[in-house]
Structure 1
């Protein structure tokens, strides 16, 4: 997993004991939107240690523990347990909820050249030896676009992240409108707090987003 970190600035109503909203930059917003691209199996794999409600973890464990004897020869369990996100490597944000094992892996015969497989159990068609030599996959260069920032959103904007993870561009007017919406009367009760999202916080945020509409409050307050 990535060890990168991103941060956001929370505006906390200490009297109401809640996070009103957060100010976030491009890196943080790219990460939050990246959650939408995660396959279900990846989410289950990430949250197993955190505990999950429902029956999907049992479905995951059933396949994980199923003996390979029952799997068709041309199929692999990891195709379902560790699917690759449907996005290019150039779009993965600074903090990505992915596992190193999800990277593409290829193998070749240690004796012959010209044959490659993504399954180390495959046999070389020339000498019939297994493809045991691992190769390092090198992704192609990203397609040139107008922006070289990478990710999804533009970096010249500050974004407002609501407690329920609604996200929109931030402005002075929108901030005042939010204070009116939450009926904040005492400005002195407001407190700013900068929080950092490492992998542990990111996984907690992912889990809480599946269970609560007060995600920032539940995770950081």
Structure 2
């Protein structure tokens, strides 16, 4: 079995003098990863980052609800609806962020083997009509259509190269935009710039998610931050 961790290749434009990343040049896979972050429920974000790594009080809220006895929970309510929400995300984000196993790309639907009047996503649910366990896998009328619609194939087209700013602004790569960026940051000597190829894997993805909630200089924080082990020439 292969133990190779998934990764995405990125090209960074680094201002060595200012010690910052001006932009990243990337393809569809990285842009899809970034946009997938917008689809993550807050409960999933907290689980990924762990309560110790969260800013503010949301981590405490999550932990206290997780520890709350079932005695105080409404009978029809389920803790996992908030703590482990089901989500449908781009496959690259699920892999890079090591999302929990309930972040499936497809979802099965179940019914009871008796009256078959209701369906559920949870095979342990009881049928509200006859009381049987709803563990019988239900079939979709158009299985092929269901399969194709349950898998998110990403968000942007794979026809151009994209540029991602330090604050995560995304736009198609262009010479004019690059020149405008150099003017914006008052780069006077191109000798101060370096192109650096890096691999973006699971460790970076977790740092990226956390930094995106805290910072306006995400690329710099992740690749040039104090906890970065990158040998980037600065």
TM-score bracket for this pair, using the shorter chain length: 0.7 to 0.9
Say what the alpha-carbon RMSD is for the aligned residues. 3.0
Name the counterpart of 2:179: 176
Name the counterpart of 2:231: none
Task: Indicate the structure whose relative CO is greater, using CA pairs within 8 Å and at least 6 residues apart.
Answer: 1
1:101 Cα offset (Å): 2.5
Name the counterpart of 1:102: 103
Name the counterpart of 1:140: 146
How do residues 147-186 of structure 1 correspond to structure 2 at under 5 angstroms?
150-186=153-189
Contact 1:11 1:22 in 2 (8 A): yes
**More displaced stretch, 176-185 vs 30-39:** 176-185
CA distance in 1, matches of 2:21, 2:178: 13
Contact 2:51 2:62 in 1 (8 A): no
**Relative to 1, partners in 2 of residues 1:70 and 1:17: Cα closer, same or farther, differing over 3 Å?**
same
Kindly provide the CA deviation profile for residues 32-56 of structure 1, in whole angstroms up to 9, marking residues without a partner as x.
Answer: 0111111111111111166111011
Contact 2:51 2:63 in 1 (8 A): no
Contact 1:158 1:169 in 2 (8 A): yes
**Relative to 1, partners in 2 of residues 1:7 and 1:207: Cα closer, same or farther, differing over 3 Å?**
same
CA distance in 2, matches of 1:70, 1:106: 29
Q: What is the number of equivalent residue pairs in this alignment?
A: 209
In the superposition, the TM-score normalised over structure 2's length comes to 0.76
1:124 Cα offset (Å): 6.2
1:22 Cα offset (Å): 0.7
SS of match in other structure, 2:53:
coil
Name the counterpart of 2:232: none
The structure with the greater share of residues assigned to helix is 2
